[in-house]
Each structure stands twice: as C-alpha cells, then as structure tokens.
C-alpha cells in the first residue's frame, strides 16, 4: 500500500536527533512525518539522565538559540544542576543538568504532538525508496510506502545493533528493543563507507538498597542559569542531591578476574568505544596504577527508585557486575535493577556528507546523530536540528544553512566530521574550537538568534525579548563608561576610575559596581550583567579573536583559479591532489567539502593559491 498523504519531510527515528529534526522541519512550515518503532520511547534518555557539560552545554545553548527543544525541556525536567569550571574563564564554564527521565521524555512528546504540520506514526523503517540517486520516501516493515521529498535518517544505535553482556550477545537497538537489521542492509547498498562503533551503559541500582550515609553528597548549585534564554520554565521541579562514591582495590580485583569473559578483551568486540567515557574494565586495565575511580550516583527522577552510577559502564558478565557493584562503598547491599551492557552498531563515514548533512550520493537524504559517528544526546540533537532545517529548506528550494566553525560549536562539529571523519565516537569539547573565547554559553543567542529569526525558526515574541536584552546590555555598557568610581566606593581602586576600566581588574566584579550607577532605568538580570562583564574583562582577547575569525572567513572565500596546478602544492598527499583535480573547487570553501580534506591541507593550499595570485 502507498500511504495516501505525501509529506515534505520524513524523519526516521525519534531519539534526540530525530525529535529536533522533526521539530525544526515543522517550524519551517514543512509537512513533516516523524516515524518511530515505538511512540512510547520518543525523546527517551537511553543512557544517563543528564543534559550538558563541557562543550555539550554550549551545544544545548546553541540549539536553544535556534529555537530547538533540548534547552527548554532540560530546564523543565531539571532536578539537579551545576555550573562546571567556575574557577576557570567564562569560555569553558558549562551548565550541566540532571533530569527526571520520565518528565523529560513526556515533555518532548507533548511539544511534538502539539506542533502544527507535524505527524507522528509508529512503524519500523525497513528500506529507503530511491530512484536515480534521489530519495522519494521510505518503506516500512508492514510493506507500507510513504512518499516524501526529503528524508532525515536518525537511527541512533539501531543499525545492525548488537548487545553484549559478557560472552552472550544478541541483536538489539538498545535494551528491550529490536535492531534495524533490514535498514542497515539496505543502506549498505548505497555505496557509502560503513564501519562499527560501540558504546555502553552501567548497571542501574535500586535507591532503596543504597547506603547513602556512606556516600559524599553533591548538592545542586543554587544559581545555575537556565539552558533556555527566554522560554523560562514557570513550574520548576524541586531539586535533589547527587552523590559520589569510588571503586577500590577489591572492585578492581573482581573486574580483573572477569576480563577473560569480557567481550572487550576476549575479541568478541573489536569496534571502538568512546575514548572519554571508557568502560570500568577499560579504566582498570588502562590505568592500572590507580587505586580507585570516582562514581557519580545520579537519581533517575522523582517518581522512580532507580539510580544511575555514572562511571562504571560495563559489558562484563552479570555475575561479575553483581560482585563488583557490591564491593563499592555504599553499594554493599545494592540491588541491580538493570544489567550494564555494551552495544555495537553501524555508522557511516561522515565525509560522505556535505555541510548541510545531506549525503553526497543520494539527493535529499540527510543523516544526523550516531549514524555519523558521534556520541551523546547533545551532539545528536544539534545535528538533528541542522538536518531537519536543511531538509525543509531543500523542499522549499532555498539555499541550505551551513553551520560555521567560527560562529558555533555546531559548526566546529560539522566541520570536524566532514573534513576529518572519525574512527571513534565523536564527542564535543571546548578544546576542539580555536575560537572558544568567542563561542561561550552566554552569547549563543547573540551569535545565532538573528539568523534563526530570519530563517523562521524563532517566533516574534522570542525575538522581541532578545532585542530587549541587547538594548539593556547596551545601556549598561554605556553607563559603565560614564560612571566614575572613587577609591572608597570599590576596594582595590587607587584613584578615581571609570567603571568600565575598573571592571577590567580581576578582583572587581560587576555586582560591586551596579549600586553606584545612577538612572539605569531597569534592573539588569544575571545574564545581562555576565554578558557585559565578560565583554569588558576580555575585550583585548575578544578583539584579537574577531580579527582571526574575519581572516578565517576571508580565507574560505579565496578563489582557486581554473588552471591551478595542484601538483605544485608541496606537502599535499597524492590522494588529495587527485580529488582536487577531479572536483575542481571554485574556492577554498568548496575545497573544504571534499572528503578527506584537512585543516592542514587547506593551509597549504591557501599558501600556494596566494602565490599564484
């Protein structure tokens, strides 16, 4: 049967990437179908119940600045929050929120169901409908064909997913759910490079069986900012504590005793896992000199007894899991509600995508999330938003939105994936950006919201709030320039000084100065004050970085002559020379989209292009 309605965009998969993709597409006015194996798992936090962190929090802020779901939903489901790296500079400070898993999932579903021109349908996708290298829909397992002009595939860990617990393994997309074997086989016929990655999850523990008196308490911060800039949650949940415990020598000895039955060390799993979130057996093996490893004991929500022991992800057999969990302080009588496991799955080389996340060999087919080799909710959601936006723009015959690494962490991630590819699960860190002082959490709205409004992702009410915030920031900045501070007003001032100059001193904060400003006309909020303070304190660094960004953007536009001789570029690999000859890019921006092109190769090319001119 052919489904009676034809859609503009079909989004396959309803994890974090799929939900953001469908929401972005629908907001762009495209008739959008979100198809999922199970409606009950829409927006499910399948691993740890938390959003944000270093680099990841920056992505969430950017998603929010482009009208996405994740920031607002995380705020509404928050039960514990912290600002990380408070002792460091503002560029690397990041928000992390513990979520009530069930409330988060339900809120995502509620928002999607209420969205006009967004339809949700429960079915498994078996194959893609492709003709003459262009997609025109999907086919489900019950034989239903659904037509569309564009498809966004967000398959997560489901493509030929295989779950491992000890030496036992079975097909599965995640615990209790089937893997997408037929779809994986169909995709492999499209001529794209496919490989395997793996990730894992720890056993869950019943809170009633934990001795919390033996654990260190990690309270929630009192003044953690919201992820969402303007959509403030009116009914915040009460916050709860998280806890910390540690593994010990006995724990490590138990783990070592089971390594011969570990799929990681017995050769059953040969795919690569996330380097920055290793399993506990990896930690014990690789860091043999360490006596213990920290475990963050995180509640799953208010209406559940389950806790998530962050730091002991594993694929060891259950008897070893049972023993090592009970060897940890506070877990002596722990009852495991769910076993930990590893999962292997297919992903496709992201170098086969263009910067819009469209596949190069199939027109109007977009990939987002773990199918591109990334790991994490935030990385998936950011890709989903961009892919859904570009799928809708493609249908509307409009040019794609191309994220820029000089302007966003989204751009850093896409640029990294497409120019370098990945052989391990890609995770966002602030260290990945050469412009990180300019790409802070607090200014994501300034960086992205004007363009988001032009695209139609941001509504007029949010835009007016943004404009008011900018007006307030400008007023406060101007008042600081004309306000004079005497030595007795603010400590450490040797003489009368303009407030904006005084604020450059490390020991002086903007809250020390606000009481001495006359006729401001409004009470600045925390976000406005921090924005002004950061801009003034780091003015010199920010100016230098803006110069670098302008140079980068100028370099991307550098034209490459039609008769340019790539063989003369010393240091460029023969493989890249051949690709450049084949593609004949018109400028450096086009050259960047060639699979395998690296920043180092682009630098070489720029030198020779300038010499040619």
Q: Is 119 exposed, middle or buried (0-12, 13-18, 19+ CB in 10 A)?
A: middle
Structural domain boundaries enclosing 44: 7-155+345-455
Between helices 409-420 and 56-65, what is the axis angle to 10°? 110
Tell me which range, 401-405, 445-449, 600-604, is most confidently predicted by mean pLDDT: 445-449
Is the pLDDT reported for residue 613 higher than 70? no
**CATH number of the domain encompassing residue 485:** 1.10.10.1800
DSSP state of 198: E
Mean pLDDT of 273-284: 88
Does residue 379 fall inside a structural domain? yes
Count of structural domains, the chain: 4
Domain finish residue from 539, 567, 582: 539
- Calpha distance 398→388 (Å, rounded): 14
* Statement to judge: residues 447 and 365 lie in one domain: yes
| Tokens at 572, concatenated | 């460029």
Same domain, 294 and 232: yes
Q: Would residue 144 count as lying in a domain?
A: yes
Looking at the structure, do residues 449 and 330 belong to the same domain, yes or no? no
Residue 418 · residue 387 · CB < 8 Å = no
Residue corresponding to tokens 């020598």: 249
Q: Is residue 165 scored above 90 in pLDDT?
A: yes
Mean pLDDT of 352-381: 96
CA dihedral sign, ordered 351, 54, 226, 47? positive
Judgement on whether residues 504 and 524 belong to the same structural domain of the protein: yes
Same domain, 331 and 399: no
- What average pLDDT does the structure give for the chain? 93
Is 362 contained in some domain? yes
Considering 312, 341, 370, which residue would you say is the last residue of a domain? 341
Q: Are 289 and 366 in the same domain?
A: no
- CATH value at residue 49: 3.50.50.60
Same domain, 252 and 355: no
Reference 425, options 481, 488, 501, 347; nearest CA is 347
Supply the pLDDT for residue 600: 76
> What separation, in Å, do the N-terminal and C-terminal C-alpha atoms of the chain show?
60
Q: Does residue 463 belong to any structural domain of this protein?
A: no
> CA 553, CA 78: separation in Å to the nearest integer?
38
Q: What is the pLDDT of residues 51-64, one digit of tens each?
A: 999 999 999 999 99
Contacts 24+ apart (CB under 8 A), 132-140: 133/361, 133/362, 133/363, 134/362, 134/363, 134/364, 135/362, 135/363, 135/364, 135/365, 137/10, 138/10, 138/12, 138/35, 140/35
**pLDDT value at 541 more than 80:** yes
CATH classification of the domain holding 566: 1.10.150.570
> How far, in Å, are 32, 126, 146, 395 from residue 12 at the CA level?
11, 11, 11, 17
354 and 433 co-located in one domain: yes
- The answer to which of 56-65, 77-86, 588-597 has the lowest mean pLDDT is 588-597
Are 18 and 150 found together in one domain? yes
370 burial type by CB count under 10 A (0-12 exposed, 13-18 middle, 19+ buried): buried
For the stretch 291-333, pLDDT in tens is 999 999 999 999 999 999 999 999 999 999 999 999 999 999 9
In a domain, 190, yes or no: no
Distance of CA 379 to the CA centre of its chain: 2
Q: Is residue 181 a part of any domain in this protein?
A: no
How many CB atoms neighbour CB 185 within 10 A?
Answer: 14
Whether residue 290 contacts residue 193, with contact meaning beta carbons closer than 8 Å, is answered with no
Residue 396 CA to residue 8 CA, distance in Å, equals 9
Q: What is the pLDDT of residues 213-224, one digit of tens each?
A: 999 999 999 887
């Amino acid at each position: 049967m052919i489904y009676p309605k034809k859609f503009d965009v079909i989004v396959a998969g309803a994890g974090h990437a799929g939900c953001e993709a469908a929401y972005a597409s629908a907001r762009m006015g495209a008739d959008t179908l979100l198809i999922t194996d199970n409606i009950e798992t829409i927006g499910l936090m399948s691993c740890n119940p938390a959003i944000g962190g270093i680099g990841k929090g920056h992505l969430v802020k950017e998603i929010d600045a482009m009208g996405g779901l994740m920031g607002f939903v995380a705020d509404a489901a928050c039960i514990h929050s912290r600002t990380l790296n408070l002792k460091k500079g503002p560029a690397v400070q990041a928000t992390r929120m513990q979520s009530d898993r069930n409330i988060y999932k339900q809120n995502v579903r509620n928002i999607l169901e209420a969205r006009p021109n967004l339809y949700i349908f429960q079915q498994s996708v078996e194959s893609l409908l492709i003709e003459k290298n262009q997609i025109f829909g999907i086919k489900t397992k019950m034989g239903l064909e659904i037509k569309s002009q564009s498809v966004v595939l967000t398959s997560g860990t489901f493509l030929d997913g295989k779950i491992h617990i000890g030496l036992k393994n079975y097909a599965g997309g995640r615990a209790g759910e089937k893997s997408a074997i037929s779809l994986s086989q169909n995709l492999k016929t499209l001529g794209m490079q496919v490989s395997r990655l793996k990730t894992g999850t720890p056993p869950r523990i019943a809170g009633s069986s934990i001795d919390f008196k033996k654990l260190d308490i990690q309270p929630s911060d009192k003044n953690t900012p919201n992820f969402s800039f303007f959509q403030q949650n009116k009914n915040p949940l009460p916050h709860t504590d998280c806890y910390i415990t540690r593994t010990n020598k006995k724990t490590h000895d138990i783990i070592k005793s089971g390594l011969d039955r570990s799929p990681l060390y017995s050769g059953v799993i040969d795919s690569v896992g996330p380097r920055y979130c290793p399993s506990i057996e990896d930690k014990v093996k690789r860091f043999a000199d360490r006596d213990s490893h920290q475990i963050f004991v995180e509640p799953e929500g208010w209406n559940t007894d389950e806790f998530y022991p962050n730091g002991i992800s594993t694929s060891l057999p259950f008897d070893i899991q049972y023993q090592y969990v009970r060897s940890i302080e506070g877990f002596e009588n722990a009852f495991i509600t769910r076993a930990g496991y590893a999962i292997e799955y297919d992903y496709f080389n992201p170098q086969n995508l263009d910067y819009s996340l469209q596949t190069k060999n199939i027109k109007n087919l977009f990939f987002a999330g773990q199918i591109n080799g990334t790991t994490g909710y935030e990385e998936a959601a950011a890709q989903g938003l961009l892919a859904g936006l570009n799928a809708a723009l493609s249908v509307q015959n409009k040019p794609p939105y191309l994220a820029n690494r000089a302007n966003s962490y989204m751009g850093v991630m896409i640029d990294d994936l497409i120019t370098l590819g990945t052989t391990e699960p890609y995770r966002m860190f602030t260290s990945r950006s050469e412009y990180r002082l300019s790409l802070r959490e607090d200014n994501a709205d300034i960086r992205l919201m004007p363009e988001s409004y032009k695209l139609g992702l941001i509504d007029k009410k949010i835009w007016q709030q943004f404009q008011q915030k900018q007006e307030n920031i400008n007023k406060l900045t101007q008042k600081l320039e004309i306000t004079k501070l005497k030595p007795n007003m603010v400590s450490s001032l040797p003489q009368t000084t303009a407030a904006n100059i005084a604020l450059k001193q490390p020991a002086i904060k903007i809250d020390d100065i606000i009481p001495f400003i006359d006729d401001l006309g409004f009470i600045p909020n925390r976000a406005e004050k921090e924005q002004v303070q950061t801009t003034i304190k780091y003015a010199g660094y920010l100016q230098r970085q803006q110069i670098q960004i302008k140079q980068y953007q100028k370099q991307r536009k550098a034209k490459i002559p039609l008769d340019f001789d790539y063989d003369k570029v010393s240091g460029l690999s023969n493989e890249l020379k051949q690709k450049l000859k084949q593609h004949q890019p018109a400028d450096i921006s086009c050259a960047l989209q060639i699979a395998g092109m690296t920043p180092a190769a682009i630098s070489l090319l720029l030198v020779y292009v300038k010499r040619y001119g």
